[in-house]
C-alpha cells in the first residue's frame, strides 16, 4: 500500500470534524492536492499545508452549497398549499371560496413587498427555519426576522384596511 502524501492525515481529521464522510473527505483532499499541483507549476507555494487546508475548506463549502436545496426559487402558493394545506379538507364550498379569496388578497399584498421579503416569507412558510434561510442567503438571523415581520405587517395592515373599509395603503 502506498504511503499517504504529507498533510493528508491532518486534512482528513479536519474534514471529518466538519461532518464529512471518509470518502467525501478523501475526494476533497485529492481535489485540493490536484489544485496545489496545478497552481504550483506557475507559482511557488510557500506553505503547502496552509494552501491545502484553505483549499479543502473552500471545496467543502462549495460542495455544501451545491448539495442543499435552493431557497431562492419562487414557491407558488399552490405548491405551498399542497405541502401544507391552507384550507381544511372538511370545509364547505363557501369556506373554500372565502379562503381562496383571502389567499388571493394575501398574494396581492405580498406582491407589494420586495422580492426578497416575499422569498424569505415563502421559504419560511415552506418549512425552512430562520437559520437555514439566513445561511442560504448569507444574511443575518435578525434580517430574516425583519423580512418576515415586514411581510406579516403588510398582511395585517391589508386585513385591517379591508375590515374598516379604508383605502388600501399597500397600493400606494
Indicate if the pLDDT at residue 165 is higher than 60. no
What value does the mean pLDDT take over residues 100-111? 78
- Largest Cα–Cα distance in the chain? 81
CA atoms within 13 A on the CB side of 168: 12
Residue range(s) occupied by CATH 1.10.10.10 in the chain: 77-171
Instruction: State how far the alpha carbon of 101 is from the alpha carbons of 33, 87, 104, 149, in Å.
Output: 59, 11, 5, 23
Residues 84-102 pLDDT 10s: 665 566 777 888 788 788 7
Indicate if the pLDDT at residue 167 is higher than 50. no
Residues 24-64 pLDDT 10s: 888 988 999 899 889 889 989 898 888 989 999 898 888 87
Indicate if the pLDDT at residue 1 is higher than 50. no
Q: How many residues does the chain have?
A: 172
pLDDT of residue 171: 41
The class (CATH top level) of 77-171 is mainly alpha
CB 87 within 8 A of CB 99: yes
Amino acid at each position: 500500500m502506498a504511503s499517504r502524501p504529507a498533510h493528508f492525515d491532518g486534512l482528513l481529521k479536519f474534514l471529518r470534524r466538519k461532518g464529512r464522510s471518509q470518502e467525501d473527505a478523501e475526494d476533497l483532499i485529492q481535489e485540493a492536492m490536484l489544485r496545489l499541483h496545478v497552481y504550483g507549476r506557475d507559482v511557488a507555494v510557500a506553505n503547502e499545508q496552509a494552501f491545502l487546508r484553505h483549499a479543502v475548506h473552500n471545496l467543502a463549502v462549495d460542495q455544501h452549497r451545491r448539495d442543499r436545496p435552493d431557497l431562492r426559487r419562487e414557491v407558488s402558493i399552490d405548491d405551498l398549499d399542497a405541502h401544507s394545506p391552507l384550507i381544511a379538507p372538511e370545509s364547505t364550498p363557501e369556506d373554500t371560496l372565502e379562503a381562496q379569496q383571502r389567499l388571493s388578497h394575501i398574494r396581492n399584498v405580498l406582491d407589494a413587498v420586495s422580492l426578497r421579503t416575499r422569498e424569505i416569507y415563502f421559504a419560511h412558510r415552506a418549512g425552512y427555519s430562520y437559520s437555514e434561510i439566513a445561511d442560504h442567503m448569507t444574511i443575518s438571523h435578525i434580517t430574516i426576522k425583519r423580512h418576515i415581520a415586514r411581510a406579516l405587517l403588510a398582511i395585517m395592515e391589508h386585513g385591517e384596511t379591508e375590515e374598516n373599509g379604508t383605502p388600501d395603503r399597500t397600493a400606494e
